């Protein structure tokens, strides 16, 4: 069996064949947030099927392509469509795209997602900057034989969401006239939404928002030593906190509604990352 690093290098080689742009920033676009792709001055677009060893997403609303281009003059690669554990992929598959963004040269990674609000002050449509996460309920992407190219055996997780980037995100929000809250993100395994009892558990554990992605990616990205920020679009109150049953369609619709603020914030944030 070949190493994970060798597999990722093959992916990097096939991406470089399709596009030579060296990204400074890597961005993942979460559920319903793919509209930001229209704000990228696109240089190339590489479908996941064309990338050696890349997992292909099966979820409706997740396109599955790497977009290369510029935002505010900053070279970036955006992952339009991520793959999730609940699709049956291994942890290594799930984090392969973010690792590839790092190996392509991105120095800062921005992870975005749609999430359910657990904290009472989080309302549908709010944007939340992730300050820390709980990844304990999902497997670690670092388990298995240690590959030093992808980080230390026992990486510190004290400051996963880079304080410098959090400051820049708040400055960008202020400049874009977008309200930006803060909170702790808990990754649940999915694909079912939580029960009200699980949401009470999330609150008791200290979570402000719950989702089905991001923390596992954040672990892999942080282990690689990259700067990182996480942004959640709160699409609903988590189960049991409002009378409405949850649906993927509603999650996507709210994310689409919030996308104007999200887009403005991201554009200002990326500009600051390039400065």
Task: Summarize as ranges the residues that interact with ligand HPA (CB under 6 A).
Answer: 114-116, 188, 193-194, 210-212, 235-236, 238, 246, 251
- Mark whether 213 is an active-site residue: yes
- Please state the closest distance from residue 199 (CB atom) to ligand HPA, in A: 8
- Mark whether 182 is an active-site residue: no
- Please state the closest distance from residue 27 (CB atom) to ligand HPA, in A: 18
- Mark whether 87 is an active-site residue: yes
Our CB check for ligand HPA shows the closer of 112 and 236 to be 236
Beta-strand (E) ranges in the chain?
25-29, 41-47, 65-71, 74-80, 108-117, 127-134, 180-187, 209-211, 227-237
Taking the C-alpha atoms of residue 192 and residue 214, their distance in angstroms, rounded to an integer, is 17
Q: Alpha helices of 139-226 — where are they, by DSSP H?
A: 163-176, 196-205, 215-223
SS3 171: helix
Our CB check for ligand HPA shows the closer of 194 and 227 to be 194
- Please state the closest distance from residue 51 (CB atom) to ligand HPA, in A: 26
Taking the C-alpha atoms of residue 202 and residue 188, their distance in angstroms, rounded to an integer, is 9
- Please state the closest distance from residue 187 (CB atom) to ligand HPA, in A: 9
Residues 6+ away with beta carbon under 8 Å from 261: 127, 176, 178, 179
Task: Residue 5: name the closest of 230, 223, 187 by CA.
Answer: 223
- Mark whether 175 is an active-site residue: no
Our CB check for ligand HPA shows the closer of 15 and 79 to be 79
- Mark whether 89 is an active-site residue: no
Our CB check for ligand HPA shows the closer of 188 and 270 to be 188
Which residue's Cβ has the minimum distance to ligand HPA?
116
CA dihedral 102, 107, 110, 111 (to 10 degrees): 30
Q: Of 5, 89, 248, 264, which is the active-site residue?
A: 248
Our CB check for ligand HPA shows the closer of 168 and 236 to be 236
- Please state the closest distance from residue 99 (CB atom) to ligand HPA, in A: 23
CA dihedral 201, 218, 25, 108 (to 10 degrees): 110
- Which of the residues are catalytic? 31, 62, 84, 86-87, 114, 212-213, 236, 248
């Amino acid at each position: 069996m070949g190493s994970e690093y060798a597999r990722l290098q093959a992916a990097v080689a096939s991406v470089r064949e399709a596009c030579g742009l060296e990204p400074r920033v890597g961005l993942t676009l979460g559920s319903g947030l793919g509209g930001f792709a229209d704000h990228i001055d696109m240089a190339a677009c590489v479908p996941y099927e064309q990338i050696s060893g890349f997992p292909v997403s099966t979820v409706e609303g997740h396109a599955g392509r790497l977009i290369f281009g510029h935002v505010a003059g900053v070279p970036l690669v955006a992952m339009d469509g991520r793959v999730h554990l609940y699709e049956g992929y291994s942890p290594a598959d799930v984090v392969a795209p973010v690792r590839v963004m790092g190996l392509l040269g991105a120095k800062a990674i921005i992870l975005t997602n749609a999430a359910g609000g657990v904290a009472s002050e989080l309302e549908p449509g709010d944007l939340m900057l992730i300050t820390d996460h709980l990844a304990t309920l999902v497997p670690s992407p670092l388990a298995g034989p240690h590959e030093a190219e992808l980080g230390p055996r026992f990486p510190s997780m004290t400051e996963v969401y880079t304080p410098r980037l959090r400051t820049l995100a708040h400055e960008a929000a202020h400049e874009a006239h977008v309200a930006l809250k803060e909170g702790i993100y808990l990754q649940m395994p999915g694909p079912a939404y939580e029960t009200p009892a699980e949401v009470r558990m999330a609150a008791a554990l200290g979570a402000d928002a719950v989702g089905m992605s991001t923390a596992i990616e954040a672990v892999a990205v942080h282990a690689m030593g990259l700067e990182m920020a996480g942004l959640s679009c709160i699409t609903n109150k988590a189960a049991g906190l409002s009378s409405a049953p949850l649906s993927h369609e509603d999650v996507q619709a709210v994310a689409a509604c919030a996308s104007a603020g999200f887009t403005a914030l991201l554009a200002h944030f990326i500009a600051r990352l390039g400065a």
